[in-house]
Structure 1
């Protein structure tokens, strides 16, 4: 074995030893500080401690992590949280299917009649909107005054408890607005195809989605949902990203326009008043 190989092996063993020692230290600290609950389960404080253990273990082993994916160990599920371009939006990944097909956006508890999970999430103070994707849940919070450090454990707990019960996320399947129709003309079909294959997957990676609302006089009308709602970079995404791509492949497209529906405007006004109330309190 040459010198370089020996040095690499020695370094690997050193790192492994450090990680094992650090893990043991955290487990001992955990056992002393957080005893098992009276029902045999972990207390909520213990769950919060475990959620930070992986990150602290990596630091103790000499690693500097820059990942924006955090882990929350709640009962038997490992909930990951991922930052989005929108600071008021966070993506939760339960590690399993959320929806069999499509996406669903809930702007208020009143819109969540067909989803018990969404209604439970809206009961958490500070939750503004809920968005379901194929394998993720995006939650938008109200303003900067509400801290994600307070919301994340509560949201993770609600998601885990619900999914462990085995109940359906949706009791009634909603019609997908982006679905293709026999009534679509050639241009509309091409627009939807590009949205489905080139644009929506990228937007969904950031916890949002793009809904096709119509095409008229060269103008493509789109609705931004999920983390795209209220995102500071949504205009840039719409114009520099989506509009440029559609115009490149489809010459008939002259402009892309964001659609804000009447109910969305009402909800926005209501939440603006609530934000002011929170700031004044």
Structure 2
């Protein structure tokens, strides 16, 4: 009888130990699941503040109902204040258009919309790209401006509105050869159109023929888009354009850049307004 009791006690003890081990295992699993849930919660909490920025970055890749997929690439230019936006569709049928200020963009709905972006001071259209220039101020962050510009271009292209109004004059005739052009001017325009302008347009800008003085040998050109205000524009003009012109056309002795007084005035006024806004005391 004593042996039977002892066997029962041993069996009970064994079941108790097994139950205890099961409880410990369940407890360990619960703790592991709790840690996993906590980690996931923290991860979601960390990601939450970046949802708006992520949407802004992905917006150019969103498919708009009734439209094809929009894929807008961005490309840096030699000018740190300019970025080239490539929407993957035709912007202009030919030529280029420069908008140095919002007044010049009254007949170009897309350019007018881009000028509403804080910090944007210039817009330039090529056949398949848009170059945007921001104010030369370190406090204006390209990350913020770029997101706004991408959203504006995406929404505008999805709307189906014309990029420029019908009848708007393009700069494709900047190197057009006229009957009264002498041989030297014809050579200059041909060299600009075939060798120089395509390279400059790859960097988001353009160079236009303004005039040539045969007596002094001075060739006057106008730089647009990313070339305007670029720190390396003088090097491009002298070491690049001037050397090529002198190599092929010995009559060219010097190349000079021409700037519109209206463009310089608009930039000066914009910079003054920006400075006044920044120095204005904040309301308490």
Question: What TM-score, normalized to structure 2?
Answer: 0.73
Equivalent of 2:155, from 157, 161, 181?
161
Distance 1:191 1:163, change over 3 A: same
Aligned to 2:169: 174
More off after superposition, 92-101 vs 160-169: 160-169
State the 1:277 CA deviation.
3.1
Partner of 1:131: 124
For the pair 1:48 / 2:56, whether they are aligned, the reply is: yes
Unaligned runs of 5+ in 1: 1-28, 35-42, 52-71
Query: 3-state DSSP class of the match of 1:91?
Result: strand
Q: Which residue in the other structure is 1:85 paired with? A: 78
Give the alignment partner of residue 121 of structure 1, picking from 107, 114, 138: 114
Q: CA contact under 8 A between 2:81 and 2:133: conserved in structure 1? A: yes
Q: Which residue of 2 aligns with 1:8?
A: none
Question: Would you say 1:148 and 2:147 are equivalent positions?
Answer: no
Residue 4 (structure 2) aligns with: none
Deviations 1:109-138 (A, max 9, x none): 111121000000001111010000110000
Deviations 1:215-264 (A, max 9, x none): 11311100111001110000000000000000000010010000011211
Paired residues, what number? 224
1:214 shift after superposition: 0.6
- Correspondence for 1:241: 240
1: CA distance, partners of 2:269 / 2:73:
30
Instruction: Flag the 1:196–1:278 CA change in 2: closer, same or farther, 3 A.
Output: farther
**1:238-277 counterparts in 2 under 5 A?**
238-277=237-276
Equivalent in the alignment of 2:198: 201
What displacement does 1:183 show? 2.3
Unaligned ranges ≥5, structure 2: 1-42, 64-68
Measured in 1, the distance between the counterparts of 2:180 and 2:139 equals 47
- Alpha-carbon contact 2:57-2:147 (below 8 Å) kept: no
Say if 1:94 and 1:136, in contact at 8 Å, map to a contact too: yes
| Partner residue, 1:3 | none
RMSD across aligned C-alpha pairs, in angstroms? 2.2
Q: Provide TM-score, normalisation by structure 1.
A: 0.74
